[in-house]
Amino acid sequence: MKLLAVVAAAWWFLVAPAAAQSDPQACVLGGGPHAYQQRLTLLMEHAEAASREALGAQFTIVWLSDRDQGWVVGLAPGPLDLQAARDAIAAALGERVSGDDLATLTSLLHVKAQPYSRAELERVQDEIVARLEGLGAAWALGIGCEAGDAFRVEVELFNDATPEQIAQAREITAPYGDIVRFTVSEGGPPAPALGVAPPRLRTYVAFPRACVTGPVRITTRRRGEIRRLTVTVAGERRTRQTGRLGKPVVVRPAGERTRVTIAVRLRDGRYVKRTVTLPPCR
């Protein structure tokens, strides 16, 4: 499932776990119990930071895998092979954590091959977003692995798109080749289930109710129900997804009134978006 972008409003999300290209079932949801995640939730900030540092340009993504009962790092092509990458990540972890935390992270670590780096995926994603904004139809876009074997940029239109809009979207995405998957859904744009109340932002996100005196920490609640958090300030977008939801987004107010847009995508398909103003205290 992807987030919905209607006309010029775009949403991004990360799909559930992928694995190595050789595993055609890499993106199948579920596949095992979730108890292992309790040991990892508070450590994933260190896990991602160490992985990015150790792999550099070969870093693709970090995710939690029920099938592997641990955390997985995607490795793009480059000088490091899978074992060398694992050793480098373990060494980088040792610079950040120790004792039981280090033992937990290293024992549950998996490294799997991916065809594209995070930098490649994000570059293509940003280019396509810019080109789709004037399409005039609902669309969904994200870095995901619904194709089944690896993370790619996935673009989806729905059955309310006209043939002309579909042709235009195909023309936009075709030059990117294998790094992009384009589909047209047989159904309409995603909507909340009937009988399910619209979610309240404060149920899932904590942020100031009154004036602020300095940097603001936007934190998540009920993380097990959240797929992705997006915070946009002055055109700069910051995201947190599964495995990183424990890390707050820090916003630094600027000027008389700072407008912050906070969007949450839930695992049940619902989403909520709200723009708040953070006035400075006087």
pLDDT in tens, 203-226: 888 877 667 777 778 888 887 778
Q: Kindly state the tokens that stand for 188.
A: 């309409």
pLDDT given at position 259 = 78
How distant is the alpha carbon of residue 136 from its chain centre? 25
Averaged over 59-80, what is the pLDDT? 90
165-178 pLDDT, tens digit per residue, is 999 999 999 999 99
Res 244 pLDDT > 60: yes
Locate the domains of the chain by residue range. Answer: 37-113, 118-184, 201-278
Q: How far apart are CA 92 and CA 75, in angstroms?
A: 16
CATH C-level class of 37-113: alpha beta
Q: Helix (H, G, I), strand (E, B), or coil: what is residue 107?
A: helix
**pTM to 2 decimals?**
0.62
Residue range 201-278, CATH number: 2.60.40
* CB proximity list for 194: less than 8 A, separation 6 or greater: none
DSSP summary character for residue 42: G
Residue range 118-184, CATH number: 3.30.1340
Q: Which among 159, 162, 122, 167 is positioned nearest to 141, based on CA atoms?
A: 122
